[in-house]
């Protein structure tokens, strides 16, 4: 039986409701035009078409019509509706540093297990409205959850975020499960970087421990098979049920890397029909060297109108800052993380080929004399991660020796090496 729902005054059939349609079509096609909040610059609440399903919006100081943003979508835990107005942690680690507009979902019944599909639909509605009210670079985004928020988080991914979804269809490059109830598989989701948080004191709380280690195990299996290798399971000794600053800081660093490697950064509608249109498209395909060359040639001309020249100089500045960030991240990875340098290095090389700083990039290389085998460590995590914790928040027999080897083979300061160090803080069985 078809289930009819109303979305901003427009009747649609739920069986055909798709995030790809919502985001790929214009907002006007859905009857979702700019609201009275268009361009609003504070933190405010919005009611969705379903009573009791609301969301809060936070607009970072970094946002402007000249500096469009991405999005950060958060599903709170059971009874977490009171925390929806609070963006303090998100603003510190994500929204302000990376120019993301925050969306905190607020379900007044406090129960993510009840009408989970309706809660997901409300989140899709929130994304559509924010896209109508602000300039959003589609594909630049974070989706995350805490505790019971893992239920709508998982359902949203399963319905709209499976492999093959484009950045316009699934507007997230990074996902974070902060101690979340994600009890079903996330295998086969669209390629993203991931952060998974867990505390040793919450292991048995509604099976958070098994859920988080199972999800991380799946992610490492996919990483070993050639998908995104930027995955972090932060298993913290003596942490209870809650997010920590350390969790959010680690997650934000991961987002930054995957954002640089895979996502557009210019708002194409601002340049449509101008001499910059195809240069901007090239830049958003992350052909930074080619785009910078074309832009230099354009600016060398004498016939550019002043308003187009100003826009071209803005694009040039954005590309320069992007290249700065790529080189900074590349130096860090080459120095400290052979696995992720192998994963991202080729991607960044392709972006910078033909750029004036490409020769500088080519000189970035790992320290001489150090021999690592990060693929062995990754394969170990892909095959044995669940067995490390087969007996709960303790290390299974023989695990300690393997983790010490991970620190050597992957590099002590690498993601895998730092995870191993954190795991080693747990007691033996």
pLDDT given at position 370: 76
- Residue 12 pLDDT > 80, yes or no? no
Mean of all residue pLDDT scores within the chain: 92
Q: For a pLDDT cut of 70, what percent of the chain falls above it?
A: 93
pLDDT given at position 111: 97
Query: Stretch 286-306: mean pLDDT, rounded?
Result: 95
Residue with tokens 């295998």: 187
Q: What is the token pair recorded at 59? A: 């607009």
- Residue 294 pLDDT > 50, yes or no? yes
- Residue 426 pLDDT > 60, yes or no? yes
- Residue 4 pLDDT > 90, yes or no? no
Query: Stretch 341-348: mean pLDDT, rounded?
Result: 98
Alpha-carbon torsion angle 317, 320, 326, 331, nearest 10: -130
- Residue 248 pLDDT > 60, yes or no? yes
Predicted TM-score (pTM) of the model is 0.92
Q: What is the token pair recorded at 52? A: 């009791």
Q: In CATH, what class is 4-262?
A: alpha beta
pLDDT in tens, 144-157: 999 999 999 999 99
pLDDT given at position 376: 97
- Residue 244 pLDDT > 50, yes or no? yes
Question: Residue ranges of the domains in the chain?
Answer: 4-262, 268-362
- Residue 23 pLDDT > 90, yes or no? no
Q: How confident is the model at residue 402 (pLDDT cuts 50, 70, 90)?
A: very high
Query: Stretch 16-33: mean pLDDT, rounded?
Result: 43
- Residue 5 pLDDT > 80, yes or no? no
pLDDT given at position 429: 85
Angle, helix 245-262 to helix 306-336, in steps of 10 degrees: 120
């Amino acid at each position: 039986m078809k289930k009819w729902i109303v979305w901003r005054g427009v009747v649609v059939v739920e069986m055909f409701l798709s995030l790809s349609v919502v985001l790929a079509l214009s907002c006007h096609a859905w009857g979702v035009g700019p609201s009275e909040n268009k361009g609003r610059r504070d933190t405010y609440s919005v009611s969705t078409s379903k009573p009791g399903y609301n969301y809060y919006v936070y607009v970072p100081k970094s946002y402007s019509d000249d500096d469009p943003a991405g999005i950060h979508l958060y599903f709170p835990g059971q009874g977490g509706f009171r925390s929806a107005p609070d963006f303090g942690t998100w603003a510190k680690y994500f929204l302000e540093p990376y120019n993301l507009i925050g969306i905190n979902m607020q379900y007044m019944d406090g129960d993510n297990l009840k009408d989970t599909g309706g809660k997901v639909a409300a989140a899709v509605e929130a994304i559509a409205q924010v896209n109508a009210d602000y300039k959003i670079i589609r594909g630049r985004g974070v989706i995350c959850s805490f505790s019971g928020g893992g239920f709508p988080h998982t359902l949203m991914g399963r319905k709209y975020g499976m492999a093959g979804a484009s950045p316009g269809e699934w507007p997230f490059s990074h996902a974070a499960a902060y101690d979340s109830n994600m009890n079903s598989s996330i295998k086969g989701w669209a390629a993203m970087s991931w952060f998974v948080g867990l505390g040793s004191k919450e292991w048995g709380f509604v099976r958070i421990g098994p859920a988080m280690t199972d999800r991380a195990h799946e992610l490492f299996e996919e990483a070993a098979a050639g998908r995104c290798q930027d995955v972090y399971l932060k298993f913290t000794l003596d942490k209870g049920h809650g997010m920590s600053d350390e969790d959010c800081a680690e997650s934000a660093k991961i987002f930054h890397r995957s954002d640089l490697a895979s996502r557009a950064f210019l708002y194409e509608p601002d340049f449509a029909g101008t001499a910059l249109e195809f240069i901007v498209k090239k830049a958003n395909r992350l052909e930074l060297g080619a785009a910078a060359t074309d832009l230099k040639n354009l600016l060398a001309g004498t016939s550019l109108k002043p308003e187009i020249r100003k826009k071209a100089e803005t694009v040039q500045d954005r590309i320069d800052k992007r290249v700065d960030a790529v080189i900074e991240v590349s130096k860090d990875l080459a120095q400290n993380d052979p696995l992720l340098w192998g994963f991202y290095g080729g991607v960044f090389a392709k972006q910078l080929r033909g750029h004036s700083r490409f020769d500088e990039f080519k000189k970035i290389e790992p320290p001489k004399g150090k021999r690592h085998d990060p693929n062995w460590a990754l394969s170990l995590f892909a095959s044995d991660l669940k067995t490390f914790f087969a007996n709960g928040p303790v290390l299974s027999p023989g695990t300690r020796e393997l983790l010490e080897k991970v620190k050597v083979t992957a590099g002590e300061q690498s993601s895998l090496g730092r995870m191993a160090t954190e795991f080693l803080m747990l007691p033996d069985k």
